[in-house]
Amino acid sequence: MLNLGRARIQGRQNRSMSFEGSDYADQKKNNDHTGKIVLVISLTAMCILVLKQSPTFDTPSVFSQHEPGVTHVLVTGGAGYIGSHAALRLLKDSYRVTIVDNLSRGNLGAVNKIFSENAFDAVMHFAAVAYVGESTQFPLKYYHNITSNTLVVLETMAAHGVKTLIYSSTCATYGEPEKMPITEETPQVPINPYGKAKKMAEDIILDFSKNSNMAVMILRYFNVIGSDPEGRLGEAPRPELREHGRISGACFDAARGIIPGLQIKGTDYKTLDGTCVRDYIDVTDLVDAHVKALEKAKPNRVGIFNVGTGKGSSVKEFVEACKKATGVDIKVDYLERRAGDYAEVYSDPRKIREELNWTAKHTNLKESLETAWRWQKLHRNGYESSSFSSSSLFSAY
């Protein structure tokens, strides 16, 4: 678990991080006894300081108490692509933030411990396995992870009186609607295990809300692209997920020569240039929608919102934008249609504009891809060189 905080009314606060089991001290052999004594004293002082900041020390941590004017948000899946961007934005806006992610396997006891040692006001629940292709290969993993994580989050929120939930859902819950654009009223008929499990998680939340006064916002994202404009974060899926990856990842891999080129499946759809059309949304706009949802969430109310631009771009347009952004003439092979792909998907963003006063301000295919490419070029191995290790956890498959 990683606690990061700034109080909204108090300005910047000390940050306290806890990486269980990762403390270490580097000691050199040294004949100078005085030097050793000084080192021991400094280390002891440092340990006391760290302990003093830890929630288990006598003085209660700021994270363990509700504070008027301060909103403490638990970000599940905060080590992932969207969750990490959301955490960064929340910190910028002076929210108090705690991140949970199961980089290693976890258990329910850990979740309870986290909730009992922290006073959360809200949870943004991003944690999930999230690749359509992988979900068709490992459906049980997807059903288990997505539904049971949501159950655990809800049960623990209820047990600890946490009042607000912002849930990451997806346009994959709509399946292949006959009519475009997709509104929040469009029937949800998902066609793959990922979309079906996400719909199940939504149903669990909706049923729970009927007898709870929790404030709930369900955000259904369309296709997320881009990365932090200041270059601090990017999208770095693990190499084994490459084959299931999203189109931006594939474009960047092709531009870097990791894969020989791109394969576009289907050129005879009833779209302007014959390739599939999707609604791409920049991650900066997406996290902005989360902050607005958090601000507008009300007890006893469930808000459901599409998060997209309302404008589709074709795969061909995407690839051209990617070529411009990377400066690489990516090799493209045009193949037959792939079963299960649908021609056109784009949102109707009217509801989120009218009710949350949100519109996509940063989404521009070429610029979003340029920003993401800058990060990709500087981080060829993703976050691999980073010295972080984490053991924070909850229900794992």
Ligand X SMILES: NC(=O)c1ccc[n+]([C@@H]2O[C@H](COP(=O)([O-])OP(=O)(O)OC[C@H]3O[C@@H](n4cnc5c(N)ncnc54)[C@H](O)[C@@H]3O)[C@@H](O)[C@H]2O)c1
Segments in 297-349 forming alpha helices (H): 315-326
Residue 285 is which amino acid? D
Selecting among 194, 269, 280, 346, the annotated active-site residue is 194
Catalytic (active site) residue 221? no
CB atoms inside a 10 Å sphere around CB 329: 8
Whole-angstrom distance, CA of residue 354 vs CA of residue 339: 37
Judged by CB under 6 A, the residue of 149, 248, 313, 326 near ligand X is 149
Closer CB to ligand X, 80 or 310, in the complex: 80
Q: Which residues pair with 185 in a beta bridge?
A: none
CB-hemisphere CA count at 13 Å for 270? 0
Judged by CB under 6 A, the residue of 115, 126, 143, 252 near ligand X is 126
Span from 13-21, 59-67, 101-109, 318-326 in contact with ligand X (CB under 6 A): 101-109
Closer CB to ligand X, 62 or 81, in the complex: 81
Whole-angstrom distance, CA of residue 83 vs CA of residue 75: 7
Span from 56-64, 95-103, 251-259, 373-381 in contact with ligand X (CB under 6 A): 95-103
Span from 17-25, 79-87, 298-306, 348-356 in contact with ligand X (CB under 6 A): 79-87
> Look-up: residue for tokens 């004017």?
69
Q: How far is the CB of 206 from ligand X (least distance, A)?
A: 17
Residue 17 DSSP one-character state: B
Question: Burial, 189: exposed, middle or buried (Cβ in 10 Å; 0-12, 13-18, 19+)?
Answer: middle
Judged by CB under 6 A, the residue of 115, 221, 358, 373 near ligand X is 221
Closer CB to ligand X, 241 or 328, in the complex: 241
CB atoms inside a 10 Å sphere around CB 203: 14
Number of H helices and E strands in the chain, helices first, is 12, 14
Span from 10-18, 33-41, 254-262, 388-396 in contact with ligand X (CB under 6 A): 388-396
242 φ/ψ sector (left φ>0, alpha ψ -120 to 50, else beta): alpha
Span from 35-43, 174-182, 217-225, 314-322 in contact with ligand X (CB under 6 A): 217-225
Question: Burial, 230: exposed, middle or buried (Cβ in 10 Å; 0-12, 13-18, 19+)?
Answer: exposed
Please report whether residue 305 would count as binding ligand X according to CB under 6 A.
Answer: no
Using CB under 6 A as the binding criterion, the count of chain residues that bind ligand X stands at 25
- Taking alpha carbons only, the member of 348, 344, 311, 347 closest to residue 176 is 344
Closer CB to ligand X, 106 or 310, in the complex: 106
Please report whether residue 168 would count as binding ligand X according to CB under 6 A.
Answer: yes
Please report whether residue 128 would count as binding ligand X according to CB under 6 A.
Answer: yes
Report the DSSP pairing between strands 223-225 and 280-282: parallel
Judged by CB under 6 A, the residue of 99, 129, 247, 369 near ligand X is 129
Please report whether residue 101 would count as binding ligand X according to CB under 6 A.
Answer: yes
Q: How far is the CB of 128 from ligand X (least distance, A)?
A: 3
Please report whether residue 157 would count as binding ligand X according to CB under 6 A.
Answer: no
Give phi and psi for 233, each to the nearest 5. Answer: -135, 160
Judged by CB under 6 A, the residue of 71, 147, 170, 306 near ligand X is 170
Please report whether residue 127 would count as binding ligand X according to CB under 6 A.
Answer: yes
State the greatest distance between any 2 C-alpha atoms of the chain, in Å, as a whole number.
80
What is the number of the residue whose Cβ is closest to ligand X? 80
Closer CB to ligand X, 98 or 102, in the complex: 102
Contact (CB, 8 A) for 135 and 128:
no
Closer CB to ligand X, 123 or 224, in the complex: 224
Contact (CB, 8 A) for 225 and 283:
yes
Closer CB to ligand X, 91 or 151, in the complex: 151
Q: How far is the CB of 337 from ligand X (least distance, A)?
A: 22
Please report whether residue 308 would count as binding ligand X according to CB under 6 A.
Answer: no
CB atoms inside a 10 Å sphere around CB 381: 9
> Look-up: residue for tokens 């691999």?
384
Please report whether residue 80 would count as binding ligand X according to CB under 6 A.
Answer: yes
Positions in the binding site for ligand X (CB under 6 A): 77, 79-83, 101-103, 106, 126-130, 145, 149, 168, 170, 221, 223-224, 394-396
Residues annotated as catalytic (active site), given as ranges: 194
